[in-house]
Structure 1
Amino acid sequence: MEYDALAAIIQTQPDRKSTQEKLSLLRQVLEASECECQKLEARLKQRRKQFHLLISTFQGLQQLLNDDEAS
């Protein structure tokens, strides 16, 4: 009876081949997502640098205008 109970439980589980295929597919999806994440992080880093440059330039121009008004 115990053997039959264990056999019934085992039969409800998917076989090893289909589980391996699903795992392989999920790994591919994960790798693609990680690659996309790295690309987006690089793009964000570039945008942050560009924004910092823009703000620095704006502050420099504002300082020049203030210096011209003070003269």
Structure 2
Amino acid sequence: LLEQLIPGHVYSLRLSCSSIGGQSDPSDITQIKTPAVAPASCHPPKISGKPKANSLHLRWGMKMSYI
């Protein structure tokens, strides 16, 4: 089981088996791409500073849903 993989990332894998009798040669390289997922919603924006008549500054944070 491989956990904490990154969505939309390509991984290259080689496997070998082991037992009391020893270890097998590694397999050929297999590439697996994890499916991409839509990001989680952002935190609500907050006004940064004082709004002006024709502009305002916003700031917000990003939720990290897969890390």
Taking structure 2 as the reference length, the TM-score comes to 0.20
Taking structure 1 as the reference length, the TM-score comes to 0.19
Higher relative contact order (CA 8 A, sep 6+): 2
| Greater per-residue strand proportion | 2
| Greater per-residue helix proportion | 1
